[in-house]
Amino acid sequence: MTIDYAILGLLSWKPLTGYDVKRVMQDSPFLYWSGNNNQIYKALVKLLENGFVTNEVQYQESAPNKKIYSITESGLSELIRWVTSEEPEIPEYKKAFLIQLSWAGGLEPEKIDELLAKYEKAMTQQLAMRKEEKRREKNFPNRSEQEHFVWEMIYDNFIQTCEAELRWIQQFREGLEHYKKGEQT
């Protein structure tokens, strides 16, 4: 995915400033972009040059002027083309915690359990945050019932992932009990 399509998607929801685009991307669990503001503004300029967006300057007396970007019909067509033509990417399962854990096998079981406790705390916080975002419908496009359903299901994916991680932690702890007692399986 390129940042261009994420921006087009956001602008299909509603007109936004570059700052608003960055804020929504930072707050979203799945519209992630590790780039900086400069990349967003460069992408907006490129989209403008390609005729996929327009911008309107909103003058403000006590603050800097704002450029508000809107998607064009051409931009909407390009977004739809991309959505319907791209093969879905297989999720990446690169979890730094698993790398950390993979080298913890030589530690005392209690130390491994401490690592699990830290991960469990982080996952519990993530779960609570995603549930609250879903409850508040944070950053949900408010256009149609079907779109609302799609966004609910996206949040459910994150919630179920967190719940699965918490179940896995419990299974890990149950297996670790054998080693705490000095047993070998």
Token look-up 């419990």 returns 170
Average pLDDT of 36-55? 91
Instruction: Assess whether 80 and 58 both reside in one domain.
Output: yes
pTM over 0.85: no
Q: Give pLDDT, residue 35.
A: 60
pLDDT in tens, 118-137: 999 999 999 999 899 888 88
What is the C-alpha to C-alpha distance for residues 154 and 10, in angstroms, rounded to an integer? Answer: 15
Predicted confidence (pLDDT) at residue 30 exceeds the cutoff of 60:
yes
Instruction: Assess whether 171 and 105 both reside in one domain.
Output: yes
Q: Pick the more confident residue, 28 or 108.
A: 108
pLDDT in tens, 72-92: 999 999 999 998 886 777 777
Within a domain: 90: no
Within a domain: 91: no
Q: Give pLDDT, residue 185.
A: 47
Q: Give pLDDT, residue 182.
A: 67
For residue 12, the domain's CATH number is 1.10.10.10
pLDDT in tens, 90-129: 777 778 888 888 889 888 999 999 999 999 999 999 999 9
Q: Give pLDDT, residue 34.
A: 62
Final residue in a domain of this structure, among 85, 107, 140:
85
Q: Give pLDDT, residue 27.
A: 78
Q: Give pLDDT, residue 139.
A: 67
Final residue in a domain of this structure, among 85, 110, 132:
85
Final residue in a domain of this structure, among 85, 115, 140:
85
Range of the domain at 74: 3-85
Q: How many domains does the chain have?
A: 2
